[in-house]
Structure formats: structure tokens, C-alpha cells
Amino acid sequence: MNDQPPGSLRDLLLDRLNRSHLAPQVQELLRELLPDDPARSPGGRAEPVQLRSISAAGWRGIGPRTTLELPPGPGLVVVAGPNGSGKSSFAEAAETAITGRNSRWEGRRTGDWQKGWRNLHSPDATPEVCVELSVGERGEAVTVRRTWHGIDLDDTRTQVVGPDGTERKLGEVIDPDALDLARPFLPYSELGSMINGTLGGLHDAFFKLLGLELLAEYDARVKNVDTECGQAIKVRDALTAKLLPELRGLDDPRAREAVQVLSGTKPDLARVRSLLESRSTTDDSELTLLRQYAGLAGPDLKETAGAIARLREAGATAEDVRFGRAEDARRLARLLEAALEHQRRSPGVDCPVCGSEAVLDRAWAEQARAQVEQLQSEAADAEAARQAVSVAIRAMHDLVQPLPVWLRGETSALVSLWQDWAQCRDIAHPRELAERAERAAAALDEACRQVRDEAARRLAEYDDAWQPTAVRLAEWLAAAEVAEAASERRPYARKARNWLRPIIDELRNERLRPFAQRSQEVWQKLCEHSSVTLGSVTLAGTPGRGRVVLDVSVDDMSAPAYGVMSQGELHSLALSLFLPRATHATSPFGFLVIDDPVQSMDPEKVEGLARVLDACTRDRQVIVFTHDTRLRQAIEHLGIEATVLSVTRRPDSVVGVERVGDPVNQALAEARALSQDAHLPQEVADHVLPAMCRRVIEAACLETVRRRLRDEDGLGLGDIEERIGSLDHRTKAQVSLALLGDERQHARETVERISPGGWALIETFNSGAHLPLPTVHDRRELVRRTKALATAIRRVPGAQSAGGAR
């Protein structure tokens, strides 16, 4: 494939065909069937879209309205909370607001499932989901809101509002084709179903995403030629089997000769044609002419009537439209657009045409835009009317057939009427053409009917016995002629298809290769220590009947993917297939929403997931919902920058969202807030505040210990957490381990060196004695000293914080 010149799929196929050694007939057939390149949308790529916030009310686990504010721009956002907290309700709210569907409920709209989408604690509230989007390079704020006023999940109203308060259509903000091809949502329900199914939907999505529709159409055309040829041969053979007994039952030399012809390996169609033209007592030329008259067909009145009706309708519409107005409207629209551009660059300037002062203001611009839209609409209407007239005239002309060759030279009323009908092809005015064609078709049809009836009557007088069989023999002859052509064409079609299929597979897989490589990269990060290897990812079959083929092996032995993978590996595989599609360069969606991807993953896979998600944040906003604390631990362990939002649920489905900092700063913030409370009782200050400060120091020690175990000992996340779980939980032991690497050593000198007075502070925490904190100043001083010690512990060389939650 590397020697192929750049170009469209059609160009690549033609280049391959020109360099092939196929027979000329096969090449001609392939060129004849090669489709044109699909028309490209003039609008280009849709504007980029990101999420600003997700809101819900009366929806799933969320009662009163709650909003999940999201940081703008690329980055990782972890929305954490226990099962039942309402976090997945936010993910489903975003999916439903943007796509109009909820994957969780598809196929489950009966019984308890049907009732579950409404919040049980808000039975009288109007359910609502809403997302605020950031659209385009300028980050224009657009709100998409869906509300329900009935009991059915489909009974919804969608409202899209721009930053200026005007309503828009959803398709103007979210490209439906892009949403179908690069859907940025991966709910937990699809995380499993994507793999448990046949992967047919994913195959079709990749086919469209890669622009491979032309290959599918080309393959179908070549296949259809082979099929049609086979059908034509079957029709002839069926007619032969039906006609032979009838011929054998006739005492007629022509019937006996027909039996000989039809019983041969390759029937002589010329002999059959001669038999049909022969007769026993009448001149052959006269019989031939009678048969021609008996089979004479004039215009199809039903098709003609339909064409005339469409012609009149198009003509009437065209008469209401001034064609000359179209070009005037276009010129004026361009002039106004230029003026609008001038006004946009210099608002409120004087009119450059008439010199009027400050007339090109905002009101003028709004009026001018409306006038541009009206002018463009008028021009489009006129052009559409002109095209409709042209199409209707051409369709009418196509129905008008010339005088049959065998009638030329005769002088009769029939010939005269047929000439009148044929002259309709020279008429270009729609109204005149409709009137002339209507009269001529009716007259010619009646004349043809009379001629056929008379010819049939006379033929019946000649061949009462032979004629019915001759009619069926004529039917056989027509089918045999088609079958003969099909027999010649079919071998070429089969050779064409045998040549085309590997070419299609090669071009298809060449287009798929970047996606397959990306899937392998994601898999390797997610399953670095797995014995299961993901090899090539290819497409087999055609849209509607295709599948994604996964080359999976275990310890270098090929194996079926579904049979050898654990649930965690299956989820990893689903992510490996989802991410390349959702992050395709042509996707306008600058965000991903992934719900509960951590379930069933072991610690190594969780670390791999954190790395994969971090890689996606280079150019995307990645929002992950999870109840599993291991993802946040992995993020902190790897030093990945992330925003962590905690979702909690109180009675009556009251859901709260809180931004979570790193444990040290969060504990400090809580202690600082308590120390600044002038109304804090002395007893509370003496007991609670020192304990809170101790938690600050312990959090700083744990952070340092984790960093030391990772950087110096090279332990993974699972081993680190296991090691920490077995540690001595006394504050002094944790300080010793953090600063000296051994919880059994005495770290007093080290603490005093990095933070004078720090050891006394620790002993005070551990002694259980009350600190004298009678004033707010004393309390603040305690927090200040605690912060200084925690900062010093975190700054110990080799134990620096490498990021973590923002």
C-alpha cells in the first residue's frame, strides 16, 4: 500500500485496476460498476464542543436541582462517590440531554425499569436534565435542556438556547452524524455490551468513520451482477422445464422442432425465433407483421399521467417564481453580506454608499441579516423551481418513445398518431408539453389497443392450436436471450469479484490501521502485565452484515477473545475499542464521559487506566465517574493532575457536589476554618483542633511514604497500599518512615532540622494533653506551625509531591 499515490478510494481502486492483468472484459465491467466518490458536505468539520456543567432535577437519583460544574478545557475530572450517591445520574443526564437516549434504559422500558427514571422523592416535580456546552473556538455558551411532562421516557421536550437567549436547533449545535460516528459517551452498560454482542454496530460505525461506504457499495454492485446473472439463468431453466411437456403434447412440426432446440445443451435461439415467425398457410412476412402488431405497446398511461401531473405541478410552481429575481437576490445578498462584514469590523460607521452618519449600527445589522436570509431563500426557491421544471420535462421526454423501426415508411392513422406523440420530445414549455402529451398519449394508446385486438383476432384464425404455445415460447425466447447474455457476463463478474475482495480488504485495513494501532496502545497500557495479547483489529464483512475481528492470544497461542478474558480484561478491551473512535481527529467532541470503568480491574489495570486517561487529556476534557477509590489513588500515585469532585447523597435525594483537594491541603483547610471561628467553645478547640492538625501531619507523612516506596523501592500501587496497611499508625512512626525510610528509627533531629519546634508539636499531639488555645490567635498559630511542619515533610528530597488532585 505504500506505493499508492494519494487520493480518494476511487482513485486508489482505479490505479489498482489499471495496473492489474485482468482480461479487458473484466476491467470494463469493474470500471462500469465503480461508484463515484460520495459528495462531501460543504460545511466542513463541526465546531468543537466541550462541557461546562451537567444539571439534573427529579431525574434518577437526583431530587432537587443539582449542578455538576466542570473545569473548562482539556483535563481529567474524576467524579467520585459511593454507590447510590447519584454520580451515575449525572453521567446519564449528560448522555440523555445531548443524544436523546439513555443506554441504561434501552430495551428495559417495562415494569420497574419504566418507573425508575423518575426520582422517587420528587413525584410531582418536572424531571429535567441539562448540559451547558462550550461551543466553537470562542467557547460560546449553549444550553441544552430536556424536560418531561408525561410518564413515558420518550415524552420529552428539548430546548437549545444560545448565549444571546435565542432558541436554536440541536442539529445546529451537535452534528448528528458526528454524534453517531464518534459518540463521546461510554456508560457502564455499554462497557459490557460492546464486547458481549457481535460488534456489528461498532463495525458499521468504523466503516462510516473511515469513509469506506464506497467500498461496500462497489462490492455490492459486483456481487449483484453475479446474482442477477444467476437469476436470469434460473428463470430460463424454469421456463424450459415448464414448456417442454406442453410442446411434446402438440402434434405440430414446429413444436417437435422446438423440443429438439430446447433439449440441447446450448439452445439455438435463432431457430426458435424462426419457428415463432413461421406459419403453415399464410405468407411469413404477413404473419410476422401481425405478430408485431399483436405485441405493439404504446405509451404507459399510468406512468404518463404521473409524469404529466408532476410536470404541471412544477410548471405551476415555476410560474409563481420570478427566475430573474433569483440572480438579483443573490447579488443583493452578497452586497449586504459585504456591508455586514464592514459593519462588524467598524460598528456604527457611516454608510459608505450614501454617506449617512452612524447608520450601520446593531439594529441595521440585525435587519440586514434578516434581509440576507430572505434574499437567499428567494434565490434558493427560484433555483429549486427551475430544477424541478427541468427534471419534470426530462422525465416526460424519457417516456416518449420514437416510432418503431418496422412501422417507418407506412402511412396510417396509427403512424400519424405516433408521430404526434414522438414530437412531444421537441417541446420544452411545461404547460404546452403537458397538454400535448396528455392528448397524444391517450389517442395513441387507444389506436394501439385497436391494432392489437385486430392483429390478435387474425392470428387466432391462422393458428388456433399453435398460437398459445407460441406465446409462451416467445416468453421463453425473451428469457433465454437475457440468460445467454448473463452466461457470457457471469464469468467476468466472478473474476471481477475474486480480484476485488482482497483489494477491498487491503484498502479497508489500511484505513483502519491507525485505529488498530491506537487500540493496541491503549490495551498495552491497561493490561501491561496480562498474559492476554491484543494483536490486529480488522473489519470483516460489509455494513449490516459485518463484524470487528480481534486477534487475541494467550501466551502466544491464539484464542477466542470472550472465552479467555477476565471481566476486567473485557472492560479494558471495550475501552481499547471505544477511545480510538471517540478521539478521532475529525470528532467535534472535545470531551469524553466514561461511567465506572474501574470495576473488575486489578491494581495494575487501574494504573494503566489512569495513564490512558491522562494521555487523552492532552486535547480533551475527560470526565470519569467512579465509586472505586483506586482510580484516585492511582492518579495521586502517578502524579497525574486531575480535578476530583465528590458526590454525596443525603435523605430525600438531596445530592451535593464538593471539590476535593489533596488530603494534606484539605485537612489544613478544615483545620484553618475551625481555628478562625471566634465562637468556637474552648473545650472543642482544646480537643478537636489538635486532632485535626495531627491528621494534617499524618496525611503529609503518608504522601511522602507513598512517593518513597514508588520512587526508591519501585513498588506498584497495589504493593504500596498493602505495605501502608501494615504500617504502625502512630504519628511518630509515620514521621520516621517518611523522613528516614524506617518507622523504627528516631526522627527527632531530622524533624528539628527541617522545622524547628516540630518535634515538640508532634509530642503535644500524641501526649493527649490539652493545648492552651484560649484565643483565636493561638489556634491560628497552631495551624500555622502544623502547615510549616507538613510542608517541610513533603519537601524532603525524594519525597516531593508530583501533582495529584487539583
How high is the mean pLDDT in each 10-residue block of the chain (806 residues)? 53 89 92 78 63 91 91 90 85 90 64 63 83 90 90 82 90 84 81 57 66 82 92 93 88 80 87 76 60 87 90 80 63 74 68 63 75 74 80 89 85 89 90 91 92 83 71 90 92 92 84 81 77 67 65 63 68 80 85 86 82 90 89 83 87 85 82 83 81 89 83 74 76 85 82 90 69 76 90 72 40
pLDDT at residue number 141: 92
- Whether residue 140 is found in the same domain as residue 76: yes
Collapsing DSSP states into helix, strand and coil, what is residue 450? helix
C-alpha to C-alpha distance for 498 and 507, rounded to whole angstroms: 15
- Whether residue 648 is found in the same domain as residue 667: no
pLDDT at residue number 582: 84
pLDDT at residue number 265: 84
- Where among 462, 482, 512 does a domain terminate? 462
pLDDT tens for 240-262 read 999 999 888 876 677 888 898 88
pLDDT at residue number 676: 84
- Where among 378, 399, 420 does a domain terminate? 399
Please give the full DSSP string across 571-617, using - where no structure is assigned. HHHHHHHHHHHHT-TT--B-EEEEE---TT--HHHHHHHHHHHHHHT
The helix (run of H) or strand (run of E) holding residue 110 is none
Q: Is residue 32 part of a domain?
A: no
Query: Judging by DSSP bridges, how do beta strands 75-80 and 643-650 pair with one another?
Result: parallel
- Whether residue 680 is found in the same domain as residue 786: yes
- Where among 399, 434, 451 does a domain terminate? 399
- Whether residue 431 is found in the same domain as residue 472: no
- Whether residue 623 is found in the same domain as residue 687: no
- Between CA 629 and CA 634, with CA 630 as vertex, the angle to 5 degrees is 125
How many CA atoms lie within 13 Å of 238's alpha carbon, on the beta-carbon side?
7
Collect all residues with Cβ–Cβ distance below 8 Å to 358 and sequence separation of at least 6: 348, 349, 350
pLDDT at residue number 6: 44
Task: Identify the CA nearest to 624 among candidates 805, 412, 426, 413.
Answer: 805
Q: Using an 8 Å Cβ cutoff, are 510 and 600 in contact?
A: no
In this structure, the number of other CB atoms found within 10 A of the CB of residue 502 comes to 9
- Between CA 698 and CA 707, with CA 704 as vertex, the angle to 5 degrees is 145
Task: Identify the CA nearest to 691 among candidates 709, 670, 706.
Answer: 670
How many CA atoms lie within 13 Å of 78's alpha carbon, on the beta-carbon side?
31
Indicate the number of domains in the chain. 5
- Whether residue 702 is found in the same domain as residue 782: yes
**DSSP code for 805:** B
Reported in sequence order, the residue ranges of 444-531 that DSSP labels E, i.e. its strands, are: none
Domain of residue 699: give its range: 661-794
- Whether residue 671 is found in the same domain as residue 789: yes
Task: Identify the CA nearest to 387 among candidates 398, 397, 379, 375.
Answer: 379
Q: Quick one: CA dihedral 67, 71, 72, 74, positive or negative?
A: negative
Q: Is residue 536 part of a domain?
A: no
Collect all residues with Cβ–Cβ distance below 8 Å to 531 and sequence separation of at least 6: 554, 555
Q: Is residue 473 part of a domain?
A: yes
Task: Identify the CA nearest to 395 among candidates 432, 423, 433, 443.
Answer: 433
- Whether residue 722 is found in the same domain as residue 762: yes
Q: Is residue 642 part of a domain?
A: yes
Q: Is residue 381 part of a domain?
A: yes
Collapsing DSSP states into helix, strand and coil, what is residue 254? helix
- Residue type at 340? L
> The pTM is what?
0.58
Q: Is residue 509 part of a domain?
A: no
pLDDT at residue number 320: 63
- Whether residue 672 is found in the same domain as residue 790: yes
pLDDT at residue number 806: 40
Q: Is residue 285 part of a domain?
A: yes
C-alpha to C-alpha distance for 256 and 261, rounded to whole angstroms: 9
Q: Is residue 323 part of a domain?
A: yes
- Whether residue 150 is found in the same domain as residue 251: no
- Whether residue 393 is found in the same domain as residue 333: yes
Angle formed by the axes of helices 269-277 and 466-526, nearest 10°: 140
pLDDT at residue number 553: 67
- Whether residue 651 is found in the same domain as residue 729: no
